[in-house]
Amino acid sequence: MDLFFQQVLNGLTLGSIYGLVALGLTLVYGILHVPNFAHGAIYMVGAYVSYLTMVDLGYNYWVAMACAAAAVAALSVLCERLVFNPLRDAPPIHDKIAAIGIMMFLEAAVQMQWGAEFRRMPTPYTDIFNIAGLTIPAQRVLIIMGAFSLMAVLHLFLKKTMTGATIVAMAQNREGAFLVGIDANRVAMMTFAISGALAAVGATLFAPINLVYPSMGHLLIMKAFVIIILGGMGSIPGAIVGGLIIGFTEAFGGFYISTDYKDIIAFALLVVILSVKPTGLFTKGVR
């Protein structure tokens, strides 16, 4: 039973991070219809910025997180301005290739600047709680709480604030949004900024239990895509639930079936779900 709950905890940890990253991806996808393959690299840059502010400059963890969020948000906005905005009328395949170009660039740039070695980011929260046979490192609690509160904040932001509403409005009817005076460029930039900041925060939360290196975003972005397809592109609850589904699949599949095969299990799950429901779990039937 302990082991079962241990896997629940693992699933939650993974699911939180996946969800957070997928959320940024789905936000951009739902509103701007940009399949941003560079999102994994953006996440990676987030991890590096935190690492540098924390380890090299000696700032506090939370300051590092804020710096990473700000820097990566700016980077995302830059990508939007320089690449995706000029491509907004191009066929989607062009966006994909451009995003891959960005990804290559970011990885190479990071490697050039900081080398390819694995780095380990320390965390100030090193306690490990042992409750009823369950091992719960503080950082993991932080990840889960951080991710879920961020999701909640994002949800409230989108639902309750005027600025958030402009993002949703844009997703639901672009021209309608223009007509009430919403500035499309502003919303596009804001969306990219939020998406980048989410990735950076996700990276900062996750990095302490993992390693930081230039290609760290590769598999994550694959999974994030799986998640947003699974949850329905552009759907926020879809991204969260999708993240949890994949997280739990990996934890339970990895534990009860085989760790070596856990990725196959996750991807096969997607194939099965989409074979049954081709538009994902959370897309509405209309349109």
Partner 1 sequence: MGALQKVSGFIMSPAMKMLLILLAVLFPLAAGNEYQIYVMALAFVWAIAVYGMNIVTGLCGQLNLAHGAFFAIGAYTLAILTVDNGWPFWPAFVAAGAMGALLGFLVGVVSLRLKEHHFAIFTLCVGFIIYLLMDKWESLTHGTLGIINIPAPHGFGLVDFTETTPFYYLALVFLVLSVFFASRISHSLLGRTFLAIRISDDLAASLGINLMRNKVLAFVLSTTYAAVAGALYAGMVRFIGPAEADVAHTFDMITYLLVGGIGTLMGPLVGTLVITWLTQSLQSLEEYRMIVFGPLLVLLVIFSPRGVVGSFTAWRARRRAAAREQQARQTASEKVPPQAGASSIKKGAGNHA
Partner 2 sequence: MLQLDHVEARYGSFKALEEVSMSVEQGELVVLLGANGAGKSTLFNTLSGLLKPSAGKIALNGRDVTGLKPSALVAAGVVQCPEGRKLFPEMSVLKNLMLGAYVHRRDKAGIRQTLEQVLSLFPILDEKKDEAAGSLSGGQQQMVAIGRAMMGRPTLLLLDEPSLGLAPLVVKQMFETIKGINEQGTTVLLAEQNAFAALKIAHRAYVIENGRLVMEGDKDTMLGNEEIRRAYIGA
Partner 3 sequence: NETLNIGFTGPLSGGAALYGENTLHGLQMAADEINDNGGFAVGNETYDIKIVSLDDKYSPSLAAVNGKRLVQQYRTPVIFTPHSGGTFALQAFNERDNFLLMSYTSVPTVTEKGNKLTVRIPPTFTGYLKPFTKIAMDRFGKKLGIANATHDYAKYWTKTFVPVWEAAGGTVVADNPMDYNKSADFYTGVSKVLAAKPDVLFIGGASEPTGLVARQARELGFKGGFVIMDQAKIGEMAKVAGGLKALEGSVGVVPLVDYHTPGSDAFVAKYEKANDGAAPTSEVAFNYFGLYATVAAMQAAGSVDDAGKIRAAMAKGLTTLSAEHNPYGVETIDDKGGMVVDPNIAVVENGKIKIESLSEVMAD
Residue ranges in contact with partner 1 by CB under 8 A: 35, 82-83, 86-87, 90-94, 96-98, 100-109, 111-112, 222, 225-226, 229, 233, 260-261, 263-264, 267-268, 270-271, 274-275, 278-280
Contact residue for partner 3 among 135, 149, 163, 172 (CB under 8 A): 135
Cβ closest to partner 3, residue 265 vs residue 274: 265
161: left (phi over 0), alpha (psi -120 to 50) or beta: beta
Token pair recorded at residue 135: 């091992």
Q: Which does 277 bind (CB under 5 to 8 A by kind): partner 2, partner 3, partner 1, none?
A: none
Q: How far is the CB of 206 from partner 1 (least distance, A)?
A: 21
CA angle 49, 77, 160 (to 5 degrees): 100
Say which entry of partner 2, partner 3, partner 1, none residue 131 contacts (CB below 5 to 8 A, set by partner kind).
none
Least distance in angstroms from the C-beta of 26 to partner 3: 19
Which of these, 81, 41, 7, lies nearest to 224 by C-alpha position? Answer: 41
Q: Could you say which residues in the range 234-273 bind partner 3, by CB under 8 A? A: 250-251, 254-255, 258-260, 262-263
- With beta carbons less than 8 A apart as the criterion, state whether 140 and 195 touch: no
What, of partner 2, partner 1, partner 3, none, does residue 102 touch, CB below 5 to 8 Å by kind? partner 1
Q: Tell me whether residue 137 or residue 232 sits nearer to partner 1 (CB atom).
A: 232
The minimum distance between CB 15 and partner 1, in angstroms, equals 18
- CB of 249 vs partner 3, minimal distance in Å: 11
> Which among partner 1, partner 2, partner 3, none contacts residue 280 (Cβ within 5 to 8 A by kind)?
partner 1
By CB under 8 A, what part of segment 181-210 binds partner 3? 206, 209-210
Residue in 17, 57, 31 with CA at minimum distance from that of residue 235: 31
Do the Cβ atoms of 197 and 69 come closer than 8 Å? yes
Residues of the shown chain interacting with partner 2 in the complex, contacts defined by CB under 8 A: 162, 165-166, 168-169, 172-173, 175-184, 186, 284, 286
- Min dist CB 273 to partner 2, Å, is 23
Q: What is the binding site for partner 3 (CB under 8 A)?
A: 3, 6-7, 10, 13-14, 17, 107-108, 111, 115-118, 120, 128, 130, 135, 137, 206, 209-211, 213-215, 218-220, 250-251, 254-255, 258-260, 262-263
